Amino acid sequence: MKSMFLLGMLVAAVAAPTSLRAETLNLLIWEKYISDNVLKRWTEETGITVRQIFFDNGDDRDRLLADPNSDIDLAILNENITGLYSRQGMLVEVSERTVPSARHSVARWRERCFGYGIPYFWGTLGIVYRADKVETAPVSWADLLAPPKSLAGHVAMVSTYDDLLTPPLIMAGKSASTENEEELKAAFEMLKAQAPSVGTYTYIVTSSQDAAIGDDLHMALAYSGDQFTLSDVTSHPWKYVLPKEGSVLWVDCLGANANSPRRDLAVKFLDFINQPDVAAQNALDLSMPTANASAIPLLPAEMRDDREIFPAEETVAASQFYKEYPASVIQLRKRIVSAVMSIHDTQ
């Protein structure tokens, strides 16, 4: 239902008369992922509004971006899809020439956006849990993959072919980006065994707001920072844990659609969002780790020192990045996800 609603929003945006859309940018983004204060400031300074179009998994995002009629001007992308789309000529180049504020980005994260996006936020993949429902805080991927009986039906996972397979692969001591068929099949067996404990494979920020199941979700696979969004939208005390076995690092890049008729305005927005004071405001309002080096000193010391927001350097050094997969591996991973969800649906 949510996907239909979001697609309906997009159709309405495309169908609107040109005169009504002339000063509006369409931003494809995760829910609760940009500060209202930042958007208000942008509109006050430029007279241009930003229409947010939400997605809750990468496949939906990619389908919308691949549609030449989607009318998307800007989009939040992970680093691998940024690299792919840049090679396909779908994104505007981001350099200090085209986006002067790009010079403020942390070099490590800027490299992950391949010169075709502004590094936006970054973090880890881990476990969120409700502190009022889970008596013993999880410490391992095993606590998510083989939870106690009290959590049966109260676990939320995801349906993406990279994130869903990461916990069992890392738990087994394998690379999260493995292309080895036997290792992927072993990960499938772990997910198959977990299936009876899973309540949904819909991203926790979305599923937690579903009146039918939201209050019954007590633990989930999630991204660092989701605990703050969840506590805000549900009024429950959510906590985040990075499992002891380690995890992956993610970097979100904000890119401008090269085929947009408003590409100049989109590039102007990229430059705006990466101004240090704007990036700091965005990070502060969302309790997220900015990728802007000049913005970090503008944040309160307690936020800079909060390891739930800015992971320690040793955590960063020990974490993996996802790699790009050949088409055959993507198809195998997608078949595994589909099989896991089918097994879950029949139980």
Report the CATH number at residue 214. Answer: 3.40.190.10
Answer yes or no: do 114 and 132 share one domain: no
pLDDT value for 5: 37
In a domain, 12, yes or no: yes
pLDDT value for 69: 80
Written as tens digits, the pLDDT of the chain (347 aa) is 334 334 444 444 444 444 334 489 999 999 999 999 999 999 999 999 999 999 988 888 888 888 878 899 999 999 989 999 999 999 999 999 999 999 999 999 999 999 999 999 999 999 999 999 999 999 999 999 999 999 999 999 999 999 999 999 999 999 999 999 999 999 999 999 999 999 999 999 999 999 999 999 999 999 999 999 999 999 999 999 999 999 999 999 999 999 999 999 999 999 999 999 999 999 999 999 999 999 999 999 999 999 999 999 999 999 999 998 999 999 999 999 999 999 999 98
Answer yes or no: do 113 and 155 share one domain: no
In a domain, 221, yes or no: yes
* Angstrom distance (rounded) from CA 334 to CA 140: 25
pLDDT value for 62: 87
* Angstrom distance (rounded) from CA 299 to CA 286: 12
pLDDT value for 271: 98
Q: Are strands 248-256 and 118-130 parallel, antiparallel or unpaired?
A: antiparallel
Answer yes or no: do 21 and 63 share one domain: yes
As a residue count, the chain comes to 347
Answer yes or no: do 138 and 207 share one domain: yes
Q: Domain range spanning residue 38?
A: 2-122+251-310
* Angstrom distance (rounded) from CA 144 to CA 135: 14
Could you tell me the CA-to-CA distances from 265 to 49, 74, 128, 275, 338 in Å, in that order?
A: 11, 10, 37, 16, 39
Answer yes or no: do 188 and 134 share one domain: yes
In a domain, 287, yes or no: yes
Q: Tell me if 195 sits within 8 A of 340, measured CB to CB.
A: yes
Tally of structural domains, the chain: 2
Answer yes or no: do 168 and 64 share one domain: no
pLDDT value for 7: 44
pLDDT value for 15: 43
Answer yes or no: do 227 and 255 share one domain: no
Strand locations in 217-338, DSSP E? 219-223, 238-241, 248-256, 320-321
Answer yes or no: do 194 and 326 share one domain: yes
In a domain, 112, yes or no: yes
In a domain, 38, yes or no: yes
In a domain, 327, yes or no: yes
pLDDT value for 164: 97
In a domain, 315, yes or no: no
* Angstrom distance (rounded) from CA 85 to CA 257: 10
Answer yes or no: do 100 and 12 share one domain: yes
Q: Which residue has the tokens 């879950």?
A: 344
Q: Which amino acid is at 208?
A: S
In a domain, 188, yes or no: yes
Backbone φ, ψ for residue 67 (5° rounding): -80, 115
Answer yes or no: do 197 and 232 share one domain: yes
Answer yes or no: do 60 and 107 share one domain: yes
Answer yes or no: do 89 and 105 share one domain: yes
